[in-house]
A = this chain, B = another copy of it.
Amino acid sequence: MMISTRGRYALRVMIDLAQHTESGYIPMKEVALRQEISLKYLERILPILVKNGLVEGVQGKGGGYRLVRSPKEYTAGEILRLTEGDLAPVSCLSKCAEPCPRSAYCATLPMWSGFFDMTNKYFDGITIEDLSKPRE
């Protein structure tokens, strides 16, 4: 299990916002209802997206959230890396890991690195616009 609900919910919120861009600011209450996700939990995820400049939040009546860029300018990779920390398949490749003394001769490290690269490329090749379209 690599992607937790935090990253998955963040993606679904972004998709939901993309599907309602013309409606101005969207309250999370609506998104929570549509997506069947606890509002309280979403309220803990959204600040990550706000602080990193992916969405804009406006308080008060009539407030809510909206995307600050066009949906095609967000990649799934960007959103997942923010909410999940990173997409490293093993701890030694995580950005916050201390350097492994075995790395110079580790037989499996190239395999993990290759997978890591592939993972980032895969998710960076998918935009919120792609995900917002109805499925064929």
Contacts and interface: CB of A to CB of B under 8 A. Distances in A.
Contacts of A76: 111
A32 to B, nearest CB: 14
A11 interface: yes
A94 B4 CA distance: 13
Q: Give the interface SS of chain A, mostly helix, strand, loop or mixed.
A: helix
A53 interface: no
Contact of A90 (B3, B88, B89, B135): B3
A122 interface: yes
Given A108-B131, A135-B105, A2 B89 contact: yes
A107 interface: yes
Nearest to A18: B107
Interface residues of A, number: 31
Contacts of A132: 107
Contacts of A122: 114-115, 118
A1 B108 contact: no
Interface in A68-124: 76, 88-91, 94, 102, 105, 107-108, 110-112, 114-115, 118-119, 122-123
